[in-house]
C-alpha cells in the first residue's frame, strides 16, 4: 500500500490517491470520489492480510482520516531493509535499488495529487510504487528469514503500529514543547492545558499547529501567565488570534492557575547531569559497537531517548529499569552489554 496526499496549509492530510497491490494486480483508488470507506476499513483491520508500507507513519494518518482506522498488521520495508543489513534508513528509490537492483524515477514525488485528471506520468509513478513495494516485501521476507531476523521485523512493526494509533487524549502533547522542563510544575500544568486547547482547535479549524500559535508562544504563556489581552500580545500571540480566541485563552489560563496542585502532571525530567552524560556516551559506544557487529544502524538497535530513560531510572546507584523496547530481540542482543556497564556505574 501507498498513499499520495497534499499537506501544506491543513492539519489533516488531503488524500489524493490510494495505491494497493497484491500478487496479481495493482489498483489506484480515487479518494475524491468515495464517501463510504467501510469495506476498505475492513481490509485494513483484517488480521489475515499484512499491509506493507515504506515509511508508514504518514500513511497511517491518511488511512485514519479516510476510514477511521489504521492498518493492522503492517510491515514497513524501510525498517525491514535496515534490519536486513542493507544500509541505514533509506528512501524508497534506494530500497528498490538495494533489493531489486532497479533504478526507478521519483520525479512525481511533489506532484499535485488533487488535480484531475491525473497525468500519465503520475499514474505510472503511483502504480510503480506499490508494484515494486510488493516485490521488495517478498525479497525482504526471504532475506530476514535466512538471517533469523523475521521475528525482529514483526516485533518492531507491531511497535510502529502501536505508536501510530490516533488518540483523542492530548494530555501528553506538552512534553514535546522545547524547554518545557524549565517551567515550574504549576507552569507545566498551564502549558499542558494550552497544548490541549491547541490540539482541539487546530483539528477543528483544520490548520497546522504553527498557524494557530507557535510552540514558543505557548511556553511564554505558561511562564508568564497573561491576565489581559495586552499580556497575550507581549507573549507573542498575533493580533488576529487575540481577537478571535483571546478571551478563550485567558479563561483557560485563569482556570489552570486556580487548579489544586494534585491535578498537576508529574514534573518533566531535567536533562541528564554532566556526570550522567559521561555514562550516556559510554552506553552509546556500547550500542554502536554492537550495532556494527550485527550490521544494523545504531539508532535501530537502541535510540538515544531509550538510553536516557534507562539512565534516569536509577542513576547513579541503581537499580535500573529497562524500558519495554529493550525486551524481545533486543534483550538477547544488547541488554547484557548494557547491564554490565550499568553495574560498573553502581560500583
Backbone angles phi, psi at 166, to 5 degrees: -90, 130
Is pLDDT of 201 > 90? yes
Q: Which of 59, 61, 199, 333 is catalytic?
A: 59
**Mean pLDDT along residues 116-126:** 95
**Mean pLDDT along residues 9-13:** 95
Is pLDDT of 148 > 90? yes
What does DSSP say about strands 26-29 and 51-53: parallel, antiparallel, or unpaired?
unpaired
Torsion of CA 38, 39, 40, 46, to 10 degrees: 110
Among candidate residues 263, 297, 331, the one where a domain is terminated: 263
The predicted structure's pLDDT at residue 109: 80
Q: Are residues 234 and 280 in the same domain?
A: no
* Confidence band for 231, pLDDT divided at 50, 70 and 90: very high
| 125: in domain | yes
Q: Are residues 109 and 201 in the same domain?
A: no
* Confidence band for 318, pLDDT divided at 50, 70 and 90: confident
Give the chain's mean pLDDT: 95
Q: Which three cell numbers stand for residue 214?
A: 507557535
Among candidate residues 223, 244, 263, the one where a domain is terminated: 263
The predicted structure's pLDDT at residue 324: 96
CATH of the domain at 228: 1.10.150.80
Q: Are residues 338 and 291 in the same domain?
A: yes
Is pLDDT of 208 > 90? yes
Q: Which of 61, 108, 125, 199 is catalytic?
A: 125
The predicted structure's pLDDT at residue 332: 94
Q: Are residues 140 and 210 in the same domain?
A: no
Q: Are residues 23 and 119 in the same domain?
A: yes
Residue 49 has, within 13 A of its CA and on its CB side, a CA count of 15
Minimum mean pLDDT range among 157-171, 203-217, 288-302: 157-171
Euclidean distance between CA atoms 198 and 191, whole angstroms: 10
The predicted structure's pLDDT at residue 22: 95
Alpha helices in the chain (DSSP H): 38-45, 57-67, 77-83, 92-100, 120-146, 150-163, 185-205, 209-212, 215-224, 229-235, 239-258, 274-294, 298-301, 304-312, 329-330, 336-346
125 labelled catalytic: yes
| 168: in domain | no
| 268: in domain | no
279 labelled catalytic: no
Total domains, the chain: 3
The predicted structure's pLDDT at residue 165: 87
Q: What is the pLDDT of residues 83-101, one digit of tens each?
A: 999 988 899 999 999 999 9
| 254: in domain | yes
Among candidate residues 241, 263, 285, the one where a domain is terminated: 263
Q: Are residues 143 and 12 in the same domain?
A: yes
Q: Are residues 10 and 146 in the same domain?
A: yes
| 269: in domain | no
Asked whether the beta carbons of 96 and 2 are under 8 A apart, the reply is no
Q: Which of 2, 156, 187, 333 is catalytic?
A: 2
Asked whether the beta carbons of 81 and 290 are under 8 A apart, the reply is no
Q: Are residues 159 and 14 in the same domain?
A: yes
* Confidence band for 251, pLDDT divided at 50, 70 and 90: very high
Q: Are residues 64 and 159 in the same domain?
A: yes
| 120: in domain | yes
Higher pLDDT, 316 or 248: 248
Is pLDDT of 344 > 90? no
Q: Are residues 223 and 282 in the same domain?
A: no
Is pLDDT of 347 > 80? no
Q: Are residues 16 and 115 in the same domain?
A: yes
Q: Which of 76, 129, 308, 333 is catalytic?
A: 129
Is pLDDT of 235 > 90? yes
CB under 8 Å to 284, separation ≥6 — which residues? 298, 304, 307
| 80: in domain | yes
Q: Are residues 235 and 309 in the same domain?
A: no
Domain span at 124: 2-163
Question: What pTM did the predictor assign?
Answer: 0.92
324 labelled catalytic: no
| 325: in domain | yes
Name the percent of the chain lying above pLDDT 90.
92
Amino acid at each position: 500500500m501507498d498513499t499520495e496526499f497534499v499537506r501544506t496549509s491543513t492539519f489533516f492530510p488531503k488524500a489524493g490517491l490510494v495505491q494497493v497491490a497484491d500478487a496479481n494486480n495493482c489498483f489506484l483508488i480515487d479518494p475524491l470520489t468515495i464517501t463510504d470507506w467501510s469495506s476498505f476499513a475492513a481490509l485494513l483491520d483484517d488480521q489475515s492480510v499484512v499491509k506493507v508500507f515504506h515509511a508508514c507513519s504518514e500513511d497511517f494518518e491518511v488511512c485514519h482520516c479516510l476510514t477511521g482506522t489504521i492498518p493492522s498488521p503492517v510491515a514497513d520495508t524501510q525498517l525491514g531493509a535496515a534490519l536486513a543489513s542493507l544500509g541505514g534508513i533509506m528512501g524508497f528509490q534506494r530500497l528498490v535499488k538495494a533489493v531489486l537492483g532497479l533504478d526507478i524515477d521519483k520525479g512525481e514525488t511533489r506532484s499535485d495529487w488533487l488535480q484531475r485528471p491525473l497525468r500519465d506520468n503520475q499514474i505510472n509513478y503511483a502504480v510503480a510504487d506499490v508494484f515494486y513495494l510488493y516485490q521488495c516485501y517478498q525479497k525482504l521476507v526471504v532475506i530476514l528469514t535466512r538471517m533469523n531476523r523475521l521475528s525482529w521485523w514483526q516485533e518492531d512493526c507491531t511497535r510502529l503500529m502501536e505508536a501510530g494509533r490516533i488518540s483523542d487524549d492530548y494530555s501528553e502533547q506538552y512534553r514535546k514543547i522545547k524547554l518545557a522542563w524549565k517551567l515550574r510544575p504549576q507552569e507545566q500544568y498551564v502549558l499542558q492545558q494550552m497544548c490541549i486547547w491547541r490540539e482541539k482547535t487546530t483539528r477543528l479549524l483544520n490548520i497546522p499547529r504553527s498557524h494557530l500559535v507557535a510552540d514558543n508562544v505557548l511556553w511564554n504563556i505558561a511562564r508568564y501567565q497573561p491576565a489581559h489581552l495586552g499580556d497575550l500580545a507581549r507573549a507573542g500571540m498575533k493580533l488576529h488570534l487575540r481577537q478571535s480566541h483571546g478571551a478563550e485563552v485567558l479563561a483557560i489560563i485563569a482556570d489552570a492557575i486556580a487548579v489544586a496542585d494534585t491535578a498537576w502532571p508529574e514534573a518533566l525530567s531535567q536533562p541528564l547531569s554532566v556526570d550522567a552524560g559521561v555514562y550516556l556516551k559510554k552506553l552509546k559506544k556500547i550500542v554502536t559497537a554492537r550495532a556494527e557487529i550485527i550490521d544494523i544502524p545504531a539508532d535501530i538497535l537502541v535510540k538515544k531517548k531509550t538510553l536516557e530513560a534507562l539512565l534516569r531510572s536509577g542513576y547513579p546507584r541503581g537499580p535500573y529499569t529497562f524500558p519495554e523496547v529493550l525486551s524481545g530481540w533486543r534483550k538477547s542482543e544488547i541488554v547484557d552489554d548494557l547491564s554490565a556497564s550499568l553495574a560498573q556505574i553502581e560500583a
